[in-house]
Structure 1
Amino acid sequence: MDPAGPLSGILVVDFTRVIAGPVATQTLADLGADVVKIEHPAGGDDTRGYRDPEIAGQSTFFMAFNRNKRSVALDLSVPEAVTVARDLVAKADIVVENFSAGVMAKYGLDYDSLAALNPRVIYVAGSAYGRDGAYRSRAGYDPVVQAESGFLSLNGFPDGEPVRTGIAMIDVTTGLGLVQACLAALIHRERTGRGQYVEVGLFDTALQMCLHFGMRHLLTGETPTRVGNSSPGAAPNGTFRAKDGPFQLTVAGDRVWRKLCQDVLGRPELVDDPAFATGAERAANKDALHRVLDEIFLTDTRDRWVEKMRAMKVPAGPIRTVAEACESPEVKERDLVRRAPCTGVGQVPVLRSPMRFEKTPVREPFGVPALGEHTETVLHDLLGYDAARTAALRAAGAFGTKR
């Protein structure tokens, strides 16, 4: 087994902020890339200021999206700082940014400028509504894009208002799309020797996330509606309440339905009930079916029902809080919570990457950087700057207030 990750040797210059971009660069870092995060000296990434909650002055929000990176503080309004950024890009494999349209060009760090400097560089941009067209300058955040794309209309219960997802799902999915773009562009560069410009938009991603609901509308003209925790095409599928708490049950197909009725519920007659005999009939009679199951499930505890279902390969699980999930046997079995050093805080628990590689394991987490923690190290080790040059940059205000 090679202890180096699959992206070992890949240098990423990271101009991202908030969620979508940092999700992308954190994933690249987990895969072994050397990610150098460029931050403004006065506060850094916006999420460093999200102080609810915080640990020893560090934002837990920032910590969630920025492990395994090195932080370099540069004030890009200072020409000398832009020179440093360009020197980094000259050595980089990938640049990732998610600023508003025109910001990178203002500093001479747009794709055309950087490709002239380094034709092999892969420039990956995250945007709200695209970098061209009529909406390129419109501000966009996850909740707004959820609303405008129709994604939000699909979440919640039929008799209630649309509900945004508790997690910034479009941001996260866009971030993973940026990772896919990076990897595909790396393969293209391996074949051709040339980098390229790649873009992934929040709105585009949100519409794609409507998936079969979007396709249903395009093909039939129907407007899909909210179904709560159930499914429009399969039953029983949803949240059920046992004697002491709720659980989620998903039955997909007649074979699992028979197992549920015969081996778990002890009600084989339900299999032969004409209203429930096929998947289409169960879906059409979902409300009646769920009423029957509701009465049955109230006769025993949640854990007993879930245990029986799991024993018979019927997919079911308790509805947990995040706290319960983090302490669950599944987390312990998969070793999903590790410990890593965090500057100014000490050893902290962090979530492990979900990816597993046989020969090139993902990087063990080495923590979350303090703002500008690695500025001098990166300039010395990657760029070969000596102490005198670094001091001159500091005096010019490249790293913040002039001294």
Structure 2
Amino acid sequence: MESVGMLRTGLCLLRAVRPRPARAARAASSQAPLAGVTVVDMTRVLAGPFCTMLLADLGADVIKIERPERGDDTRAWGPPFVGDQSCYFVSINRSKRSVAVNIATPEGQNIVRQLAKKADVLVENFLPGKMAALGLDYARLHALNDTLIYCSISGYGQTGPYAARPGYDVIAASLGGLLHITGDEDGPPAKVGVAMTDLATGLYAHGAIMAALLQRYRDGEGQHVLCDLLSSQVACLANLASNYLNGGQEARRLGTAHESIVPYQMFRTRDSHLTLGAGNSAQFTDLCVKLGLPRLLEDERFASNELRVRHRHELVPVLEARLAECTTAEWLRVLDGSAFPYGPVNNMEQVFSDPQVLHNGLVEEVDHPTAGRLRVVAPPVSYSKAENRVRAPPPLLGQHTDEVLRQFMALDDHRLAELRQRGVIQ
């Protein structure tokens, strides 16, 4: 009860510190966890927009600041396109409002300052020092709004020997060890199929912003949240980092196999591939029975996971030979109801026709003003008492410029036309 009381006190304090602007008619429902939270999104490409999309799905009013004429780089990243929209941009920018502002101009910078004065969160992923050069750094915006959560996403951190370098997923994944541990055992380093370092950083930033909001509700104060690709990637090394730091064991590429669990990898079947794992001896017993290999249970080399890891090169070829005798569909029927995890290696068509994916409702449709009906991957998290859903299509460039500037700055048609004529807004 004391913590609830503290939370209520913090909420009251926050509301006393800064009145909230009137919400547009499209504001999130009260069942949305972040209803009433305004986010100024000054990010481009993937890590930042992914983070802010997660906040938008939870009901935040995310105002995406974009360059006039060009907008976010990913608007041009195609093919493929759906209608006139890049599929890349569509994937990470739903449920946002787009405001096209030239922040290289003093008036454009002032627009951002006025939005930040009334916002709860600002997220940016410019090179360190760029926001300060624009007069939009944390210190100056904090002076205007001391309750603002200001999140900076960078490649390597705000300071240090690499701070001035552009940050890209594959470079941070290289520096942070992910490429070194990805690929076949006897092959070269390999890139992961999607930009997991960017996505992990977006997830870290999303969680950090949520924590900062919770702290603000307790003490009424904002703060600067710092995230970077390299640190996120190193943090995601997980057990392999611990193996090195505590066990002195250098990581190596193992294809789809696992450093510390055997068997736990992909196997070729007669017609495709199947992935399975046995994390304990009970699961290994069930696996041997299902595959018709009971003799393996009598082999002392495979009596425990530790021994199976030591003797992987004797065990894995036996499993490979057996699994290659039947098709994936035949093995799936045999393995139904097994105590160990297993599954086929699906392509995109198979993913989105998979019965469990369909059951989980992982695809939603939304109407776009120029591209028509869009299909997007739905939020993967659900709540018993709150909404987490796709709320609107990805915006057209500058689609909401007038709407937002009227709402937050009370600009009239004459002033909007004047700013547009001078190239400050689009």
- C-alpha distance in 2 between matches for 1:9 and 1:3: 8
What pairs with 1:278-289 in structure 2 (closer than 5 Å)? 278-289=304-315
Deviation readout 1:286-326 (Å, 9 max, x if unpaired):
12211211222233221221233231232110011122212
Q: Does 1:336 align with 2:362?
A: yes
Sequence identity percentage: 37
> Which of these residues, 355, 366, 382, is aligned with residue 356 of structure 1?
382
- C-alpha distance in 2 between matches for 1:110 and 1:246: 51
Q: Does 1:109 align with 2:129?
A: no
What pairs with 1:199-218 in structure 2 (closer than 5 Å)? 199-218=226-245
Give the conservation status (yes or no) of the 8 Å contact 2:280–2:305: yes
- C-alpha distance in 2 between matches for 1:105 and 1:307: 61
Of residues 60-69 and 375-384 in structure 1, the stretch that sits farther from structure 2 once superposed is 375-384
Find the residue that maps to 1:154 and give its secondary structure.
Answer: coil
Q: Does 1:136 align with 2:160?
A: no
| Aligned partner letter, 1:368 | P
Q: Does 1:251 align with 2:278?
A: yes
Give the conservation status (yes or no) of the 8 Å contact 1:352–1:365: no
Deviation readout 1:249-272 (Å, 9 max, x if unpaired):
11110111111122x123333222
Aligned equivalent of 1:53: 80
Give the conservation status (yes or no) of the 8 Å contact 1:309–1:315: no
Aligned equivalent of 2:302: 276
- In structure 2, stretches of 5+ residues that fail to align are 1-28
Of residues 144-153 and 192-201 in structure 1, the stretch that sits farther from structure 2 once superposed is 144-153
Distance change >3 Å, CA 279–CA 57, structure 1 → 2: same
| Alignment: residue pair count | 398
> Which of these residues, 394, 402, 409, is aligned with residue 368 of structure 1?
394
Of residues 207-216 and 66-75 in structure 1, the stretch that sits farther from structure 2 once superposed is 207-216
Aligned equivalent of 1:301: 327
Scaled by the length of structure 1, the TM-score of the pair is 0.95
Aligned equivalent of 1:377: 403
Give the conservation status (yes or no) of the 8 Å contact 2:66–2:99: yes
Deviation readout 1:322-341 (Å, 9 max, x if unpaired):
22212221221111111012
- C-alpha distance in 1 between matches for 2:240 and 2:424: 50
Give the conservation status (yes or no) of the 8 Å contact 2:114–2:408: no
Aligned equivalent of 1:170: 197
Aligned equivalent of 2:352: 326
| Aligned partner letter, 1:324 | Q
Of residues 88-97 and 234-243 in structure 1, the stretch that sits farther from structure 2 once superposed is 234-243
Deviation readout 1:46-72 (Å, 9 max, x if unpaired):
111112211222111111110111000
| Aligned partner letter, 2:301 | A
Find the residue that maps to 1:126 and give its secondary structure.
Answer: strand
Tell me by how many angstroms 1:21 deviates: 0.4
RMSD: 1.4
Tell me by how many angstroms 1:148 deviates: 1.3
Aligned equivalent of 1:395: 421
Find the residue that maps to 2:381 and give its secondary structure.
Answer: coil
Distance change >3 Å, CA 243–CA 281, structure 1 → 2: same
Find the residue that maps to 2:409 and give its secondary structure.
Answer: coil
Tell me by how many angstroms 1:361 deviates: 1.4
Aligned equivalent of 1:17: 44
Distance change >3 Å, CA 3–CA 187, structure 1 → 2: closer
Find the residue that maps to 2:180 and give its secondary structure.
Answer: helix
- C-alpha distance in 1 between matches for 2:188 and 2:324: 28
Tell me by how many angstroms 1:3 deviates: 5.8
Distance change >3 Å, CA 248–CA 395, structure 1 → 2: same
- C-alpha distance in 2 between matches for 1:140 and 1:274: 50
> Which of these residues, 221, 227, 235, is aligned with residue 248 of structure 2?
221
Tell me by how many angstroms 1:275 deviates: 1.6
Q: Does 1:37 align with 2:64?
A: yes
Of residues 322-331 and 371-380 in structure 1, the stretch that sits farther from structure 2 once superposed is 322-331
Give the conservation status (yes or no) of the 8 Å contact 2:197–2:233: yes
Find the residue that maps to 1:311 and give its secondary structure.
Answer: coil
- In structure 1, stretches of 5+ residues that fail to align are none
Give the conservation status (yes or no) of the 8 Å contact 2:50–2:202: yes
Aligned equivalent of 1:181: 208
Scaled by the length of structure 2, the TM-score of the pair is 0.90
- C-alpha distance in 2 between matches for 1:111 and 1:303: 56
Aligned equivalent of 1:96: 123
Aligned equivalent of 2:95: 68
- C-alpha distance in 2 between matches for 1:131 and 1:307: 53
Give the conservation status (yes or no) of the 8 Å contact 2:62–2:95: yes
- C-alpha distance in 2 between matches for 1:213 and 1:295: 29
Aligned equivalent of 1:231: 258
- C-alpha distance in 2 between matches for 1:334 and 1:289: 36
Tell me by how many angstroms 1:4 deviates: 2.6
